[in-house]
Amino acid sequence: MTSSTTSQTPISETPGASEVELQIGGMTCASCAARVEKKLNRMDGVTATVNFATEKAKVSYPAGIQVADLIATVVKTGYTAEEPPPPQPEVASRDEPDHREQPADPELAAYRERFTVSALLALPVVLLSMIPALQFDNWQWLALTLASPVVVWGALPFHRAAWTNARHGAATMDTLVSVGTLAAFGWSLWALFLGDAGMPGMHDEFRLTVSRMDGASTIYLEVAAGVVAFILLGRYLEARSKRRAGAALRALLELGAKDVSVLRDGREVRIPVSRLAVGDRFVVRPGEKVATDGTVVEGASAVDASMLTGESVPVDVSVGDPVTGATVNAGGRIVVEATRVGADTQLARMAKLVEDAQNGKAEVQRLADRISAVFVPVVILIALGTFGVWLGVTGDTVAAFTAAVAVLIIACPCALGLATPTALLVGTGRGAQLGILIKGPEVLESTRRVDTVVLDKTGTVTSGRMTLQEVYVADGADEKELLRLAGAVEHASEHPVARAVAAGAEERAGRLPDVEGFENVPGRGVRGRVEGHDVAVGRLYDSLPAELARAKEEAERGGRTAVVVGWDGVARGVVAVADAVKPTSAEAVRELRALGLTPVLLTGDNRAVAEAVAREVGIEQVIAEVLPEDKVAAVRRLQGEGRVVAMVGDGVNDAAALATADLGLAMGTGTDAAIEAGDLTLVRGDLRVAADAIRLSRKTLSTIKGNLVWAFGYNVAALPLAALGLLNPMIAGAAMAFSSVFVVTNSLRLRTFR
C-alpha cells in the first residue's frame, strides 16, 4: 500500500506580469481563435490562450503594455474584444430569493433559426436534383427559388467571415464554404439565365462516368443548399455546447449564501454578503450557510464541510476554529468573525481553479486549425490554377470554369460538417441509454491515452452515507439491549453518525424505546434516560475497560468511526460506523485495470479511512487528507510525471480537479458543480459505468477520427482528378453525397455499442 498526502500549494504569479481576461466577439470557428491567439502572442512579452468555446482570451502581459493595446490588436485582427463587466452587487434578501434565469443566447437562437429554415428549404432542392422521377417542367426554377435564401441568408455568417478573412489576408474553412457555395450558386445562375439549364423540360441526374459535359446545361443548386444546411447543423451544435461551457462556474458561485445576519451594536442586521468586510461578526443558525470564511468566536456546532473535504461526517467546531464559506451549519448557533471575503474566499478560489482549467485548448482543435490553414489556400490555388491551365491549353472558357468549379465543389467540406455532430449524436444517445452523458467531441481526445484514473472516495467509491458496521460488546452485556438503548438515544439526534447508529439498531434489534431527558453534548456525544437507565453514547467516558479500548482502537485503525455506548455510568460496548463501500466498486476497479488504467484513491478523508477503503476495493495508491487545491495539485503532479489522468468524483470539492484532469467523469448522483465541471457524467452513480464511459468515449473518438479522415481523404484523392478534368461538378457533388452517407452510416454503428 502506497500512501501519500499532498500539501497545499499557494497560488503564485509571474513577477512583473499582469493578467486579464478578455471577451472575444466575432469568432465563427476554431481557426478564428487560433488567429487571435497568434496575433496576441506576437506582441512582446505577451502570452495568450484563446478559448473558442468560452469566447475568452486569458492574457498575461508585461509592464509597458496596456489592456487597451491588447484590445486594439484583437480589433485589428477583425474581431471585437472587451474586458468582462465587474460582478453586480448582490441585492437578494432572505425574503426575496434570487430566481434569476440565464438570458437566452442570441448566437444559439440565430443558428437554430438559420439551420431550421435552411434545412426545410434545402431538402426539396436536393430531392428534386437527385431524383429525375420528381422533376417536372421548370422544376429548376422552383429549386432556384428555394435555394436562393439558403445560399444568401442561411450562409451569411460564412460569407461575412470569408470577407473578414479576405480583408486580413487569411483563409479558414468559412472561406472554403463561402467560395464553394457561391461558385456552385453562381454557376447555376449563369447556366439558368445565360445557358441552356433554364429551358423547359430540362432534366438533371447523376452521371457517374468520366466524360466531359456541357457545363452550360448543368446546375449545382443542391450542392450549394445542401452544404449550407449541413454546416449550419454543425455550427448549431457547436453553439449549444458553448452555451454550457460556463455552467460549472455558475453552479459553484450559486452555492454561496445570498445574505447574512451581521452583529452591529448588539443587534442583528441582515445585509447582502457582498457588503461583508473582514472583521465583521455574523450569526449562523442551524441549517444556514456560513456566509464567508472566518473564525468561530461564540458557540459550538457541527459544520457540514463535505463540499470541501468530501468527508461525510460533519466537523465539530467551537471557539477559535476556522469555518469556510458556503458550508452548512448542522448544529447549534455560532457567531463567526469574517477573515476572508470576496475573491479571497475558499469558494471563490475553487471557482477560479475551475475557470483556469477550462482555458485549455484541445489538440484536435489545434490540428484542425493547422489543416485548414494549409488546406483552404491550397484548394483555392488549385482551382485558380486549373482554370488558368485549361483556359490556356484548350481556350474553352466553359471547360476551364467547369473544371475549376469541380475542384471547389469536391473540396467543399460537406462531410466535415457531419463528421463530428453525427458521431457525437449517436454516441451520446447510446451513452444516455447506458447512463453516460458525453458533453462534446473535445473531451474525448485523451480517452485513448488515459493511463491513470483518480477516484474520489466519498460518494464515488463509497455510498456517501454512514452505516452501522460492527458492534463490540463487553462481557456480561447483551448486544441487542446495547443496540436498543444506544439507538433510542441516537434516534433523537440529527448527526449523521447518530442516524447511522439508530437505523442500524432498529434494523437489528427491532422497534426502539422512547427516550427522556435527551441532551446533546457538543463535540462529545448524546445522553438520555431509556427504560430506567441513564444512557450515554459518544466520547463521554474518560476511561474504558481494556477490551473495549482495544475494540475501539481496532475499529479506528480500520477506518471506522467508533463511539462508546454505556449506561448507569459504565461503558458496555463500542459501535462502529463507516461510509459503506458500494458493492460494485471492487468490480469497477477491476474493469478499469482491464482497460490499462492505474487506479489512485484521492480523498479529503483521513488516511486510515482511505487506506481501509482502498484495501477493500483493490487500490494500491492513496492520496488522503487533501483540500480542493490539493486535489488539483495532486492531479497536476500525476500529469507532471507523464501520466494522462482521468478523474472520477461527485462533490463540489472535486469540481476543480475534474476540470483539471485530462478526462473528468462526474457521478450523476453528486453535485451540480461536479457534473458541470466534468467531461462525462455517469447518470446512475455506479462506478462500473466509468469503465463503460471510457470505452464508449474511445469508440466515439475513433469514429469521429475515421469520419474526419474520410472527409479530408476523399478531397485529397479526388482533387487531382477534378483538376485534370476527369470529374465534372455533378460527379463531385455525388462524391460529396457519398462521403456524407459514409459518415452517417459509420456513426450509426455506435448504436450497437455494448
Angle among Cα 402, 406, 409 to the nearest 5 degrees reads 135
How would you classify the pairing of strands 561-567 and 533-538? antiparallel
Q: Find the helix or strand (DSSP H, E) in which 337 lies.
A: strand 334-340
Query: Could you give the 3-state DSSP secondary structure of residue 725?
Result: coil
Q: Which residue has the cell 471557539?
A: 319
Could you give the residue ranges of the DSSP H alpha helices within 323-396?
346-358, 363-394
- CA distances for 385 relative to 186, 389, 397, 514, 664, angstroms: 19, 6, 13, 94, 48
Distance between CA atoms of residues 353 and 374, nearest Å: 36
Give the separation between CA 423 and CA 92, rounded to whole angstroms: 44
* CA neighbor of 157 nearest in space, from 173, 169, 146: 173
* C-alpha to C-alpha distance for 179 and 703, rounded to whole angstroms: 29
CA distance 551 to 553: 5
Q: Where are the alpha helices (DSSP H) in 205-254?
A: 221-243, 247-253
CA distances from 196 to 218, 219, 533 (A): 8, 10, 106
Three-state DSSP class for 158? helix
Helix axes 688-723, 363-394, angle to 10 degrees: 10
Number of H helices, E strands in the chain: 23, 27
- What are the backbone dihedrals phi and psi of residue 24, each rounded to the nearest 5 degrees, phi first? -100, 130
Grid look-up 447508529 returns 501
- Nearest CA among 279, 283, 290 for reference residue 266: 283
> Which conformational region is residue 299 in: left (phi greater than 0), alpha (psi within -120 to 50 degrees), or beta?
left
The residues that are catalytic are 456
Do residues 621 and 597 lie in contact, with contact meaning Cβ atoms separated by under 8 Å? Answer: no
Helical H runs in 244-305?
Answer: 247-253
